[in-house]
Structure 1
Amino acid sequence: MPDSAPTPLGPGSLTWRYFGDTRMLLVGPRAAVLQNMLPALGQGVLDHSVFFSETFARLKRSAGPILNTVYGGDRSAETGRGVRDFHVDIKGTMPDGSRYHALDPETYYWAHATFLDNMLYGIETFVRPLGEAEKRRIYEESKTWFRMYGVSDRAMPDGWEAFQAYWKRMLDEEIVAHKTARYGVGYVTKGLPAPPKVPAPVWRAVSPPLNAVARFITVGGLHPRMRELLELPWSAADERRYRRFAAAVRAGNRLWPLLPEAVRYLPQARKAFRRARAARHSVERMRAS
């Protein structure tokens, strides 16, 4: 683990450009489900989280601090350490009697790696292809981002090629259909739960199309290995429809820059962009005076 946090990411990074881009939401819960397919992480969520009773509230609470670690500027390391400290007491015993801890470097890095994968997949599926140099750049930025947490980086691959080998090994050998992951995609077959304040007749009328969209986005955004382990049906026709959907999104991207920033970016990213613009304008005024 480095002695001090690295310089935070900023507006010149590809991570800033894309991590808080609202098009990444089209990927669906790929990262969250994949995290829970690592046995130790899935067990930690099963034993300690409100994921099962407050699924969407838990996801919302988790996403904010992660985004603030990326977009926090001078406070990124402070926020990252706060995320780390939230996991200090998440530990226990696996079904086979072995021990787990959320801050085990291998477990903690896996969670981070799923966010990196989610961003890379989202960009290439819904925005544009990435060149090898850009992938290397994003990976190097992900190393800076991870070090903001103040967790040992011994499990973090040195470079892009090493990460690719790590990722393949994890998908081929380490992930499983953990109960937590199965629960996380349960609505694919059972349907979305009815919101508390929506009358039952209204929900019966609107839920079929919503469930169809949720299934399409969720299963379509999963890696084929995830679908295989979680036994989620996905036909060749489904794949063709998903590819057409992604192509339609990419075709509309020429208009994307014309949309308001509030549509294009999540709140944490917008706040960071405003802060960066204000700092740049302040420097320009000082130079002009």
Structure 2
Amino acid sequence: MTELAENTPEALDDALPLGPDSLVWKYFGENRMFLIGPRPAVLQNMLAELGQGVLDHSVFFSDTAARVKRSLPPIFMTVYGSEDDNRGTQVRDFHKEIKGDMPDGKRYHALDPETYYWAHATFVEQVLYFADTFVKRLTDAEKEQIYLESKTWYRRYGVSDRPMPDTYADFVQYWDRMMNEILVAHKTAQYGVGYVTKGFPRPKGVHPLAWKVIAPVFNPLAAFLTTGGMPPQARDMLNLPWSDRKEKAYQAFAAFWRSRPVNWLWDRLPMSLRYNKYAIQGYANA
């Protein structure tokens, strides 16, 4: 059963606003975000109901790039829009007809509150993980701020916020329960990380000869970022190859990006290089 939210962000005082002073704005549209690999997408599809919805209704398997290109822009415009002008309800409405039957006969619907919130939770955790791993170690206050801003973000979708944890500490408990008790190695998630061991398929538009030159460099890097960027529980469930040596290399790689010289240089690059176009437009409008 689906539920629509009865409250608007402006009517509630348990959240923090989005905008140019928010940490969600600061980190979500950063171009360094590619360093975390496909972490949120894979984790989303490890919720059985969500993975089944993608399997039944999406072009994910036939044209992965097209799905990403269609899905992400309106989410960015939800975050970087204003309270009165954003794409939140449009994102919600994309999911109205995504429903069907699980293999055991149980019904699923993308707008089921628990299912829809899990998809959002992976984006919230994406911001937290990215910033803390590749930008700077976040303080407890910064983590709480990001989480409270994410509550405003979620309410822009106009769906029930019943499953949404109250505080960052509650969100951590929710996240741990999902990782340890709920998520599964759904075939959609397995497909999404298949290139870790099989190699990435040649993208459309790339000449076969060019891909022969690029692939030997690209595939190991993609596998490193994807596997290293997954939570250990998910890595184990999906049987992704990893080792202590690779973990040490990944942590050294992350520490390099967090280092003061790298951040000093990054902060002095033009905004057009540091942020995607949706973030740039949001800052310009604000």
TM score, norm. by length of structure 2: 0.93
Equivalent residue letter for 2:192 = G
Structure with the bigger percentage of helix = 1
Does the 8 Å CA contact 2:83/2:156 hold for their aligned counterparts?
no
What are the ranges of 5 or more consecutive residues in structure 1 without an aligned counterpart? 277-289
Paired with 1:65 and 1:30, the residues of 2 have a C-alpha distance of 19
Cα separation, partners in 2 of 1:197 and 1:62, compared to 1, 3 Å: closer
TM score, norm. by length of structure 1: 0.92
**Structure 1 runs of 4+ off > 4 angstroms?**
none
- The structure having more radius of gyration, on CA atoms, is 1
The residue that corresponds to 1:6 in the other structure is: 10
The residue that corresponds to 2:14 in the other structure is: none
Shift of 1:5: 4.3
Matches within 5 A, 1:205-220: 205-220=213-228
Paired with 1:198 and 1:128, the residues of 2 have a C-alpha distance of 36
Paired with 2:182 and 2:123, the residues of 1 have a C-alpha distance of 17
SS of equivalent residue, structure 2 residue 87: helix
Matches within 5 A, 1:74-153: 74-76=83-85, 78-153=86-161
Shift of 1:89: 0.3
Return 28-37 or 203-212, whichever deviates more: 203-212
Residues 1:40 and 2:49 are matched in the alignment: yes
Shift of 1:247: 1.3
SS of equivalent residue, structure 1 residue 149: coil
What are the ranges of 5 or more consecutive residues in structure 2 without an aligned counterpart? 12-16
RMSD, aligned CA: 1.3
Q: Percent identity?
A: 57
The residue that corresponds to 2:243 in the other structure is: 235
Paired with 2:279 and 2:207, the residues of 1 have a C-alpha distance of 35
Does the 8 Å CA contact 1:30/1:222 hold for their aligned counterparts?
yes
Paired with 2:236 and 2:106, the residues of 1 have a C-alpha distance of 27
Deviations 1:232-268 (A, max 9, x none): 0110110111111111111211211110101111110
Paired with 1:194 and 1:172, the residues of 2 have a C-alpha distance of 35
Matches within 5 A, 1:1-289: 1-6=5-10, 9-76=18-85, 78-251=86-259, 252-276=262-286
**Number of equivalenced pairs:** 275
The residue that corresponds to 1:280 in the other structure is: none
Paired with 2:119 and 2:206, the residues of 1 have a C-alpha distance of 34
Shift of 1:90: 0.3
Does the 8 Å CA contact 2:59/2:67 hold for their aligned counterparts?
yes
Does the 8 Å CA contact 1:157/1:163 hold for their aligned counterparts?
yes
Equivalent residue letter for 1:201 = L
Paired with 2:265 and 2:6, the residues of 1 have a C-alpha distance of 42
Cα separation, partners in 2 of 1:133 and 1:5, compared to 1, 3 Å: closer
